[in-house]
Amino acid sequence: MRLAMITSWFHPFPAGSANRFYEIAKRLSDKHEIHVFTTRLRGCKREENIEGISVHRYGIIDPSWSLEKGMVLANLKFSWNTLRRFLRGKASKNFDLIDCNITSKILPFVSYIASQFLDIPLVETWHEVWHLHNFKQYNFAFSSAAFVAEPIMARLADRFIAVSETTKQRLVDLLGAPEHKVEVISNGVDTKAFKEANVDKKRFRIIYAGRLESHKRVDLLLLAFKELRKMLPECELYILGDGSQRTALMNLSSRLGLRGVHFLGVVPRSDLISWIKSSAILVLPSILEGQGIVLLEAMAAGTPPVAVWSHESGVKDVVKQGFNGLLVRSAIDEITGAMHKLLTVKRLYERLQRNGLDFVKLYDWSYMADKAADFYERVAQAR
């Protein structure tokens, strides 16, 4: 099978959706011909082969950009160059299928035109459904355009992949995607890599790893950490990742007079595994997640997670309250209390740690890649 994967973000871009396509693509490349069309970080080659994947990069992108600062223009350039290459035949490899990663509101339309031109099926992989949340995130012009675009996007593909049951239901209920066309294929984790990482746990180390955007609510974590330090002054908070809110978050930390907070930026993948495994707990205060790959990674590392519950968020699909992690509301006192409980109640900590390690065995990337390959083949044959 020849598969074209179109995604604004791809390895080594530091984002969960980029990592998903990379982890699945490299596992499928042994038996299938995989081409990834994506953007380019500074220092990356325009054309390269990564673990059997043919990667084609157009335009520069930077992890610190947001939708309203740089990302839209970069996505427009990338989308136009990708479409032009398909229409001119330079990207045509007799593909059997296109999988579009929903990382922008532009890309599904480009992918649809390309699929129609090549007369092949289109799959869309959905991480989150933003819907009304668009109006909380961006200025009015971007919000309105994004809100109108999403229901149209949900009608362009032959089939859809949702990374969680929550994302599937939002895709069906809010955007009108046909339920029988939506397949849930979860995110995963490289359990072997986490098992092999040889690092010691730091009893009072807390970690956040992810994009630094407003809906991630890292500001709540900083405020909760301030309260936690009053009770456990030996605690340290390490914030890994980049995004449009990084400067604002560093300024907030400074205004709060926080000690023990470290902004490390983007770290190499191998270092990220070590950081997660060496931490006592991981906190994901985000109010909107398709699922949260980092939560599965925390469980694989034996690092119990704290996540914020929201009816819009898929974290509840993997974090089971009191079983493999703690779910709290987006309130400073609840986040503080959950962190304090995990750091001081040994029996609870060990139970969550043990259950998390067992739970995550079902989410290895190899298993998810097999499910994706089976799904792709069924879609291609049905056309």
Q: How far apart are the first and last CA of the chain?
A: 14
In this prediction, residue 255 carries a pLDDT of 97
307 Cβ contact partners less than 8 Å away, ≥ 6 residues apart? 283, 284, 285, 286, 289, 292, 295, 315, 319, 325, 326, 327, 328
pLDDT digit string (tens) for the chain, length 383 residues: 999 999 999 999 888 899 999 999 999 999 999 999 999 998 899 999 999 999 999 888 888 776 555 677 888 888 888 898 888 876 666 899 999 999 888 899 999 999 999 999 999 999 999 887 777 766 777 788 889 999 999 999 999 999 999 999 999 999 999 999 999 999 999 999 999 999 999 999 999 999 999 889 999 999 999 999 999 999 999 999 998 899 999 999 999 999 999 999 999 988 999 999 999 999 999 999 999 999 999 999 999 999 999 988 999 999 999 999 999 999 999 999 999 999 999 999 999 999 999 999 999 999 999 999 999 999 999 87
Count of Cβ atoms closer than 10 Å to residue 287 Cβ: 20
Residue located via tokens 């098992």? 195
- Give yes or no on whether 2-188+364-382 and 191-362 have one common fold: yes
Rounded distance between C-alpha atoms, residue 216 and residue 358, angstroms: 27
- Is residue 12 reached through a cis peptide bond, with omega within 30 degrees of 0 on the bond before it? yes
What is the topology classification, in CATH, of domain 191-362? Rossmann fold (3.40.50)
Tokens standing for residue 57? 């990069």
Torsion of CA 286, 273, 295, 248, to 10 degrees: -10
- What residues does each domain of the chain span? 2-188+364-382, 191-362
Q: Which residues pair with 2 in a beta bridge?
A: 33
Tokens standing for residue 77? 């350039």
Please tell me the CATH superfamily of domain 2-188+364-382, with its number. Glycogen Phosphorylase B; (3.40.50.2000)
Backbone φ and ψ for 126, nearest 5 degrees, come out as: -105, 130
